[in-house]
Amino acid sequence: MKTPSRIEPLVTDGLVDKVLRQLMSGKEAMVYVVQCGDEIRCAKVYKEANKRGFHKAVD
């Protein structure tokens, strides 16, 4: 899978080796299954504030 732009900094910093797949997507974040060395983990990436689906935004 192509690495999403919001996860690129984690790959650059060496925290994530590879994005395997998207696990789920919600109103405020997306969760990806990622590989970190020999371990499989999840990475939760929050959407930008202006793209979240909240009806009442708090200032």
**Residue 8: pLDDT band with limits 50, 70, 90:** very high
**Count of alpha carbons within 13 Å of 1, Cβ hemisphere only?**
16
> Stretch 4-24: mean pLDDT, rounded?
95
Residue 3 lies in a domain: no
Over pLDDT 90: what percentage of the chain? Answer: 73
**Residue 1: pLDDT band with limits 50, 70, 90:** confident
- Could you say which DSSP state residue 7 is in? T
**Residue 59: pLDDT band with limits 50, 70, 90:** low
Give residue 2's Cα distance to chain centre: 12
Residue 33 lies in a domain: yes
Residue 58 lies in a domain: no
Residue 31 lies in a domain: yes
pLDDT tens digits, one per residue of 30-39: 999 999 999 9
